[in-house]
Amino acid sequence: MNVLVLTSPLATADRPDTADTLIQAAEIAHCLRALGHAPAIVPWPAAGELASTLEAAPALVVNLVEDLPEGSGHLHEVARALDRSGLPYTGAPAEALAALGDKPAMKARLQAAGLPVPAGLGEAGEGARYIVKSATEHASLGLDAASVVEGKDAAQRMIAMRAREFGGAWFAEAYIDGREFNLAILDGEVLPVAEILFNNHHGDTPKIVGYAEKWHAGSRAYASTPRVFPPRQEPLFKHLESLARAAWALFGLAGYARVDFRVDRQGAPYILDVNANPCLAADAGFCAAAAERGLTQADVVASLLNAALLQNAISPRARCRRPSAHPQAHPGDRRLFSRGGARRRRARRDHALGH
């Protein structure tokens, strides 16, 4: 089967986090070839060029577009263009990407659904600590220890400072001092719970996974926040899994996602972020969680292909579908892209490179 691996525009690959999409694409293409498919890696085209990109008549698109010149808040436009093409594609639909592209709006929707989120600016009480984040960008852009400030006025000043430095919209929410967990979800199934440890974060030092912690390999910040998969801790882990499934359903996610949590010192969980289409690099958090379940990177890719084809067959995302170039590839066959089932191997416990 011809598979188009769609990446972010090359013009956006000027930082470690944005260049990561090209690493993912090469690894995914390798998996696709191992699964017997013919991949072609193509960067997202400018407006109006999608038709020429699709001239090779792919049967499916792996959507790895994570950044656009217009900003990450426009990622849903890629999915909408793919909807119009009639091709099945991996990952979240346009509606979910649009809802998650505005983080304050995302948190308001979570709160309205009764799901726990950190208090907003001015809602956490006098002298509360706040953390200032980008409202649209992912990958912890502009996030460091200085992002955590005390009081509403300091938060407003930091919002203005970050906007001048990085552009775009910024917001603040209550800083939750506690443990951090990531829950990866593959085709609706919650994978083993990962925890980010904060080594060498003593006293009032903010416990954050900032830009340096994610992307400056070899730095002290990077080394001090390892990912681990702790033994199950009940009832906490069941509660986190229930909240992750609720977020998945609330936003109508598909294929794969990751939900990030903070758990305060009293054991109360808060949803920090809901990430559609997280990083699929072999050493990133999602594939590490899959490995804990005995799945290889190729197994993850196979699951995403099956989910995309099945979703398109049950509920076409496009107004009119193109006929399949491979009618023998029936989406109902869950073994279609299998390499013989899950393969046990030790989980990679090196640092998360995911978003």
Q: Hey, what long-range contacts does 19-23 have (CB within 8 A, 24 or more apart)?
A: 20/66, 20/279, 20/281, 20/353, 20/355, 21/64, 21/65, 21/66, 21/67, 23/281
The tens place of each residue's pLDDT in the chain, 355 residues long, gives: 999 999 988 776 666 566 778 889 999 999 999 999 999 998 888 655 776 777 667 899 999 998 787 777 788 999 999 998 889 999 999 999 999 999 999 999 999 999 999 999 988 877 899 999 888 876 566 677 788 899 999 999 989 988 888 888 899 999 999 999 999 999 999 999 999 988 876 667 777 776 555 655 666 666 678 899 999 999 999 999 999 999 999 999 999 999 999 999 999 999 999 999 999 999 889 999 999 999 999 999 999 999 999 987 766 554 333 333 333 333 333 334 444 333 333 233 333 333 3
Per-residue CA distances from 146 to 11, 119, 189, 205 (Å): 29, 19, 36, 10
> Using an 8 Å Cβ cutoff, are 295 and 342 in contact?
yes
CA nearest to 332, candidates 312, 353, 316: 312
* 2-7 β-sheet, strand order: 38-43, 2-7, 60-63
pLDDT in tens, 117-141: 999 998 887 789 999 988 887 656 6
Query: Got the DSSP string for 222-287?
Result: HHTS-EE-PPP-TTHHHHHHHHHHHHHHHTT--SEEEEEEEEETTS-EEEEEEEES----TTSHHH
pLDDT in tens, 19-46: 778 889 999 999 999 999 999 998 888 6
31-211-14-97 Cα dihedral, nearest 10 degrees: 60
Residue 190 zone, left/alpha/beta (φ > 0; ψ -120 to 50; rest)? beta
What pLDDT score does 12 carry? Answer: 66
What pLDDT score does 217 carry? Answer: 62
Query: Got the DSSP string for 318-329?
Result: SSSPPPPS-TT-
- Report the C-alpha gap between 258 and 178 in whole angstroms: 19
The CA-to-CA distance between both ends of the chain, in Å, stands at 29
- Burial of residue 261 (number of CB atoms within 10 Å: 0-12, 13-18, 19+): buried
